[in-house]
Amino acid sequence: MHLFFYAKYLQSFFLILYLLGDMKKKRFEKRTDLVFHFLRGSIPYFLIAVFFACMVSLLDLINPKLIGYTVDTVLGDKPSDMPPFFDAWVEHLGGVSFLRTHLVYIALTVVLVACGAAFCRYMFRLNNSKGAEKLVKTMRDDLFSHILRLPFKWHSENHTGDIIQRCTSDVEQIKMFLSEQLTSLIRVLVLIIMAMYFMFSIEKNLALAAAAYIPIIVGYSFFFHRKIGSAFQKVDEEEGKLSSIAQENLTGVRVVRAFGREKYERERFEKQNTNYTGMWVYLLKVLAAFWASGDLFSNLQILTILSYGAYLCVHGQLTAGNYIEFISYNAMLTWPIRMLGRVISNLSKAGISIDRIMYIMNAEEERDIDGALEPSLEKDIAFDHVSYQYENGNTDVLHDISFTIPAGTTFGILGATGSGKSTLAYLLDRLYTLPENNGKITIGGVDIANMKASYLRSNIGMVLQEPYLFSRTLKENIRIANQQASMKDVRTASRIAALEEAVNHFTEGYETFVGERGVTLSGGQKQRTAIAQMLIRKPPIMIFDDSLSAVDAETDAKIRKALQENIGSSTVILIAHRITTLMNADNIIVMDKGRIVESGTHASLLEKNGIYRKIYDLQSQQTGEKA
């Protein structure tokens, strides 16, 4: 326990140094910065693990010395070269002559040392495993929390499958390197240094022969270091692409089956899988060459020591006990020296994984300005000369848009696909960030850029054309944004959204499990669930982004009527292709190629005989009805 407390003090020291450095930067500039960031909480366990790893190395070095002492001094007549305290213990027992007739004491000492080493190995593994799992938990928590705070634009630019792959495979790669190799590195170095010390004390020339192979093994490890790193990066990238394809097809399996795209998607997957497999085969070839080289030089080193040591024994320059002792130390060195090479080669893979995670952690989170406001949003909404274009676009998605939505009114937006209707909603909710000098959007005269994003979004309810439902029950999905809502609130919201009748036909009612992305519900049922999900929050601003497109005209009218009777003083923005959805709005704008081309009430727009009138006549002919 005292050891753990000392380790905690050391951790605090490291964290203070890290925080002092972290205060001066807003992003991770170096791999070590990111690693220390993730290691908080794990450092005590890893320090204790390193301590016991060193103890294992020291205890492992004792038994060869005891065996050599037994052969040369106890069974032979060579003077003891053991430490003074050991010789004093032997004298206390009765001297070397006593041990010669009571070898059980030597055997017991060997057993005790082995038991001590076993205990230290257990403590090393225990603390190393605790530190590793704590590290992985910290990494996953930090990554998930950070990704949730990243802008909508970042998520649009990065494939979900690739993000998942970085948060799973790359996290595991870093864990393996830090816990299984880096913590063992100190133990290996201690073992190498102490073993070489004992080997040089036994026979210098033989020790030089053994040491000559160390730079060779380390040298070819550095040679393969870059090759393994570049190959592993390509493997990681190909795995990310494969994960994206699999994720898209699993979530969109109904679309694939409905359009008979199984063969195309299978061939697409197999092609990417072939590329991924090919990269792995290349990486394995490099690794095979690396390990084969290791086997070659390690076996050459063993052969050299055995041959040269036997030669020295025959010529009386090395005793039998020293020969056994030397071979034991050399056998101990074989794997640790190769371990150094393995650490160097795996450093490449870990470095690539750290870079891939650093890409996520260095992505800038959404941040509010200092002193961000939380004003009342039950006020007029105004778009003032707003222009917007996507980062890679050359033309404006929106061009000089200006309009005002009085508080408590219903505002309609009509336009063709790509006219910029949804972009208006995303800008109002700050899912898209409006650049400076591109106009402004205000609510009650307060620029939304000066408001807290979380506050703004909690007071704006959005229902999208393609709502996303989670793999939970219908009730849990409706209450997802308001966990305090009662069952009465759930039923009320469902009734307004014309969902209650459908729920009554479900065997499990509101406890019906909707499946991933609401796969067990129809398109109209998903849209109505999303409407109920928003209504239960009772936000002062409600946006319906073509969210009634999957319901029939009768249900559309029923929902609109229920909304008019129950929304109270909320401001409602209706975005639609269907004029019957918009006709009762207090004001309607018509969008075309990012511009407002018409504005007015339903009646006044019909009189203008423009785009609105043409769409109205076309839809009336298709339905056979006149509004």
What is the reported pLDDT for 193? 80
Band (pLDDT 50/70/90 cuts) for residue 368 is confident
What type of residue sits at position 217? I
Which residues touch 356 (CB under 8 Å, ≥6 apart)?
A: 166, 170, 236
Residue 218: what pLDDT?
72
Rounded distance between C-alpha atoms, residue 37 and residue 234, angstroms: 26
Confidence of residue 379 (pLDDT cuts 50, 70, 90): very high
Task: Kindly report the length of the chain.
Answer: 627
pLDDT of residue 451: 93
Question: Residue 406 contacts by C-beta under 8 Å, 6 or more apart in sequence?
Answer: 380, 571, 586
For residue 372, give the nearest of 288, 446, 297 by alpha carbon. Answer: 446
Average pLDDT over residues 621-625: 61
| Mean pLDDT, residues 363-382 taken together | 89
Hunting for tokens 């190995």 — which residue is that?
Answer: 121
Cα–Cα distance for residue pair 555/500, rounded to 1 Å = 12
> Token digits for 400?
């000089």
Quick one: which of 263, 277, 243, 90 has its CA closest to 161? 243
* 16 has pLDDT over 60: no
pLDDT at residue 500 is higher than 70: yes
d(CA 246, CA 604): 51
The conformation of residue 365, written as its DSSP 8-state character, comes to P
Task: Copy the structure tokens of residue 334.
Answer: 């074989």
Instruction: Name the β-bridge partners of 87.
Output: none
Look at residue 477 and tell me whether its pLDDT is greater than 60: yes
Task: Decide if pLDDT at 442 tops 90.
Answer: yes
What's the confidence (pLDDT) of residue 501? 82
Q: Tell me the per-residue pLDDT of 544-589, one tens digit each, with 9 for 90 and over.
A: 887 766 667 777 778 778 877 777 788 999 988 888 888 888 999 9
Q: How confident is the model at residue 60 (pLDDT cuts 50, 70, 90)?
A: confident
Give the model's pLDDT for residue 254.
63
DSSP summary character for residue 373: B
**148 CB contacts (<8 Å, ≥6 apart)?**
none
Instruction: Pick the more confident residue, 623 or 8.
Output: 623
- Give the least confident one: 314-318, 412-416, 438-442, 474-478: 314-318
- Tokens coding 220: 């070819």
Specify the pTM. Answer: 0.69
Going from the C-alpha of 573 to that of each of 26, 51, 498, 584, the distances in angstroms are 38, 65, 19, 12
Average pLDDT for residues 136-159, to the nearest whole number? 88
Contact between 359 and 430 under an 8 Å Cβ cutoff? The reply is no
Q: Has residue 341 got a pLDDT over 70?
A: no
Within 10 Å of residue 183's Cβ, how many Cβ atoms?
21
- Partnered with residue 382 across adjacent β-strands are 404, 442
pLDDT tens, 478-487? 888 788 888 8
CA angle in degrees (0–180, nearest 5) for 541-518-511: 90
Q: For the residues 322-329, what does the mean pLDDT come to?
A: 79
Closest residue by Cα to residue 137 from 33, 38, 7: 38
Q: Is the sign of the CA dihedral 413, 417, 422, 424 positive or negative?
A: negative
Q: How confident is the model at residue 6 (pLDDT cuts 50, 70, 90)?
A: very low
* Backbone torsions φ then ψ of 42, nearest 5 degrees: -100, -20
> Which of these, 583, 488, 584, 497, lies nearest to 533 by C-alpha position?
497
Please state, in angstroms and rounded to a whole number, the distance separating the CA atoms of residues 593 and 389.
12
Through-space distance between the first and last CA atoms of the chain, rounded to whole angstroms: 81
Cα–Cα dist 544/317, whole Å: 93
The most confident of 192-206, 344-358, 603-617, by mean pLDDT? 603-617
Mean pLDDT across the chain, nearest whole number?
A: 81
DSSP state of 263: H
| 462 against 328, higher pLDDT | 462
Whether the predicted pLDDT of 22 surpasses 80: no
- Nearest-angstrom CA–CA distance, 500 and 516: 21
Give residue 392's Cα distance to chain centre: 27
The conformation of residue 106, written as its DSSP 8-state character, comes to H
Beta strand 440-443 with 381-388: parallel, antiparallel or unpaired? antiparallel
Q: What pLDDT, on a 0 to 100 scale, did the predictor assign at position 338?
A: 66
- 622 band by pLDDT with thresholds 50, 70 and 90: low
pLDDT score at 265: 83
Q: Assign 3-state DSSP to the chain and report helix, strand, coil percentages, each to 5.
A: 65, 10, 25
| % of residues, the chain, pLDDT over 70 | 89
Residue, of 116 and 27, whose pLDDT is higher: 116
| Three-state SS at 588 | strand
> 473, exposed or middle or buried, with CB in 10 Å at 0-12, 13-18, 19+?
middle
Give the model's confidence band at 380: pLDDT under 50 very low, under 70 low, under 90 confident, else very high: very high
The strands making up 381-388's β-sheet, listed across from edge to edge, are 398-405, 381-388, 440-443, 446-447
CA-CA distance, 50 to 42, in Å (whole number)? 12
In DSSP notation, 270-299 reads HHHHHHHHHHHHHHHHHHHHHHHHHHHHHH
Place 535 in a pLDDT band, splitting at 50, 70 and 90: confident
Whether the pLDDT of residue 300 is over 70: the answer is: yes
Phi and psi torsions of 316, nearest 5°: 75, 15
The SS3 call for residue 383 is strand
* Amino acid type, 9: Y
In this prediction, residues 138-146 reach a mean pLDDT of 91
CATH topology of domain 2-361: ABC transporter transmembrane region fold (1.20.1560)
Q: How many Å separate Cα 364 from the centre of its chain? A: 15
